Amino acid sequence: MERRDVIVMGGSAGAHAALRTLLARLPTDLPAKVLVVTHLAPGARSTLAQMLSKDCALPVSAAVDGEPARNGHVYVAVPDRHLIIDDDSILRLTAGPRENRARPAADALFRAAARWCGPRVAGVVLSGSLDDGAAGLAAIAQHGGAALVQDPDEARFPGMPAAALSAVPSAVTAPAAGLARLIAEMAGRPVGDAGQPDPALVWETDMIAEGHTEGAVPSKPIALSCPDCGGGMYEIRTGQAVHYACHVGHSWSPQTFVAATDHSIETALWTAVSAMQEKVTMLRNLAANAERAGDEQACHTYRDESDRVGRDAELIRTTILDNESAADQRPA
């Protein structure tokens, strides 16, 4: 009989404190393995495993590719690699396409666990901005797993917990300490048989695990292009959650897609300001040359054009700065 023996946790900003509280309260005989993903800078050396081990009675270590996951052990993702688990409880570290512009990403781990472990899984979404983990938690719930979410009122950054609850309204919420109690209660309990995974889930997890898949994206195309590669995007629905994937496997939740689009727009606008400033410089040089040559009409024409372009550049610059100020006021 299958038992619930896989706990997957995902978080971002503010999640370290929640993880320390939660893991410190897990029993030493926990009949489940625990996999943890937080957003990590790709070039940095992560010390998260060492930090968490100070408070946790269970052994904590950085995940190793090909390592069998053991019950009563905590495995932490490493920078620039997705952490996933297969149906034989073997850990995989992959360089698959980024999800929500992150690698590792909570959604990648959650989807892999939903596909290969089904009802054996409990997914936990912790503090963080935007909405990574929401669609992955929906996949876990859809495939018979348990869904747990840190209470948004306790989370330092409530964006990820709030998005997870919107995607999975039936998820159980609790403060970090309460989540530990819930995990201890459900770990090792019998669960039902796993059904067949959703075709879209198979496609996405193949792309994460192997970087390729034999089938086409089993979802409808949508008039959006991938912020990472410019490829066409497809809309994928999982319960009440929706996300988008391109043909090479980059995956985007709605809020993260909007944030990436904002970044692309800002970059394009700053590029425009730079080009316009270069034009102003050249027009002023032309005006000066015309003045030295005694061509007053050309001089005035170049100066008028320079002033117009300069005003337009300043308008764009002011718009960018105003948008940045407004963004700072938005909730996480």
List, by residue number, the catalytic residues.
12, 39, 132
Q: Is the dihedral of CA 110, 114, 120, 123 positive or negative?
A: positive
**H helix intervals, 82-121:** 106-117
Of 116, 124, 113, whose CA–CA distance to 164 is shortest? 124
Edge-first strand listing for the sheet containing 74-76: 60-62, 74-76, 33-38, 6-11, 121-125, 146-150, 172-174
Cα–Cα distance for residue pair 235/246, rounded to 1 Å: 9
Beta carbons of 163 and 253 less than 8 angstroms apart: yes
The vertex-142 CA angle with 137 and 143, nearest 5°, equals 100
The first and second tokens of residue 292, run together, are: 């030295």
Cα–Cα distance for residue pair 128/155, rounded to 1 Å: 8
